Structure 1
């Protein structure tokens, strides 16, 4: 298991360990179904760190507060209910996904964050002892729809700004904004970590990987892209720490070589120190939707810490 570290130097290493890939694709249609999960949250964070030098300090303070909240037990009691605003940007009728498809995404979030998903008790899970019921509810607040001529939006937050043809967020300090649009470049979605600007706060996910019905496309048709990205929004890192045998700042997740794809075989081990069994069934890996079905207790504690009385998302309490 990994140990938590909190120095500013370590934080910067963690968030800059990969080469940057801006993925600012615009007006390039997707030509085929995506075979592997692509999440641009880490790349977007690297861009934001370059654009805003003060972001690293804010994120370091969030890390320090997270550790204090965990150590002192300043974690929210009861159930947090998060209103979700869907901002749908569409060029075709297929991209203008139905209310039923959007509601199915809310249903998935509620199941996955409350240990009510049908695959939660999957047999042969070596990490069943650390499975978590995060205990956060989501409710559909409203849907904003806007027709556009753009074929793809990229990852430079264009979909979040009216000046670039997008939709501005609704009350981002008290509502989770979820942009539904074609992103392009092989990216299923991305999220903004706590500490960033409220003007761009939320998650952006392709319509083909939202919810479980309508246009939801296999192997990402079970709504788990939403679960993964909301995990980032709640301050979770990729389980491999965005580096070979990296650190995701969670003590009960094992070291991973890198991302896993598809659905790994039971017993898949890392070649990192100690050759631990990888937690490939974790929502913060890159497996297909049918291969991920749990958060860990350590991830739960980390997520709830941002809703504490001094947490980065305390306004959601």
Structure 2
């Protein structure tokens, strides 16, 4: 298990390392076979465009660390209202309400340890597996027909001229379903970013657990992963070789993992720990990820308390 140091200098150095990390997959490696999340790429672009974002996120990290150390965490269940924004060019891209609700159902299971594969967590990690205790409720679905063939990570789907603007993002989780290009399954905005672009974007073929979804990303875990980012979780390998995800109870991973790995899978980092490949914040296939850790739960909970970056959703 790794220990973390969250000084302002270390945090800014972490950004510097992460900005050089390429997270998307090439078009030749189809999104149907290999997970691609662009959250870190989007963050790098936002940091470059707005130098003050690093300072805001550093303040969020300091607050998070203090909230965890002083146990100032949510003492109850946060219920998050969700607005799903559907952008479609074809009938298939105009996903059904049934498909949308299936995604909400998956989030409620995964964030409350009600997923059927939660019992598959290996004994090595049974002491740190977490019931996050956050629930989600579908508030509204907004639809717009467009002529856009595929969308990129430039947030065009969130603008009034080309897409759908977010609904009251300080108190509502906005999710966009659209046809993503470049082998990207989705991306999220971390806490601290602009309200006008806040939320989670996903490819319509990885949204939910029925309808147009395609294996191996047909169990709704793309949203679980991206909402994890929206709640301040990093990729488990820290977006760098043997990097830190700022969580103390997850093993150090040397890199992202793909597919479904046989257990145990050992890291090549110092100490060769067994990697937590079944963690939602790795890059494994949907059926290969089924747990959060207690440390990740603490990071997520810290943003919802009074003074936290998403306190508008809290108690």
Under TM normalisation by the shorter chain, which class is it? Answer: over 0.9
Match status 1:311 vs 2:308 = yes
1:285 matched residue in structure 2: 282
Match runs of 1:45-124 below 5 Å: 45-122=43-120, 124=122
Counterpart of 1:10 in structure 2 is: 10
Distance 1:192 1:259 in 2: 20
Residue pairs, 1:195-210, within 5 angstroms: 195-210=192-207
Matching residue of 2:176 = 179
Shift of the 312–276 alpha-carbon distance from structure 1 to 2, 3 Å rule, reads same
Alpha-carbon separation, structure 1, partners of 2:54 and 2:279: 27
1:110-155 deviation per Cα after TM superposition (whole angstroms, max 9, x unaligned) = 0000000000001645312110000000000000000000011100
- Compared CA separation, residues 166 and 151, structure 1 to 2 (3 A): same
1:275 aligns with 2:272: yes
The 1:125/1:263 distance shift into structure 2, 3 A limit, reads farther
Q: What stretches of structure 2 of length at least 5 have no aligned partner? A: none
The 8 Å contact of residues 29 and 183 in structure 2, kept in 1 or not, is answered as no
Report the 3-state secondary structure (helix = DSSP H, G, I; strand = E; otherwise coil) of the residue aligned with 2:17.
Answer: coil
Q: Residues of 1 paired with 2:121 and 2:240: CA distance?
A: 30
The structural deviation recorded for 1:9 is 2.4
- 1:239 and 2:236 matched: yes
The two structures have a TM-score, normalised by structure 2, of: 0.96
| Residue of structure 2 in register with 1:139 after alignment | 137
Q: CA 1:147 to 1:31, structure 2 compared with 1: closer, same or farther past 3 Å? A: farther
The CA deviation at 1:250 is 0.2
- The verdict on how the C-alpha distance between 1:307 and 1:219 changes in structure 2, with shifts beyond 3 A counting, is same
CA RMSD of aligned residues (A): 1.7
Question: Offset at 1:42?
Answer: 0.4
**Do 2:30 and 2:183's aligned partners in 1 also have CA atoms closer than 8 Å?**
no
Aligned to 2:148: 150
Count of aligned pairs between the two proteins = 312
Does the CA contact (< 8 Å) of 2:23 and 2:40 recur in 1? no
Unaligned runs of 5+ in 1: none
Partner of 1:263: 260
> Deviation of residue 88 (structure 1)?
0.2
TM-score relative to the length of structure 1: 0.95
143 and 187 in structure 1: CA distance in 2 versus 1, 3 angstrom threshold: same
In 2: Cα distance, 1:311 partner to 1:184 partner = 34
Pick closer, same or farther for the CA change 1:124–1:252 going to 2, 3 Å: closer
CA contact (8 A) 1:15 1:45 kept: no
How far apart, in 1, do the equivalents of 2:29 and 2:259 lie? 20
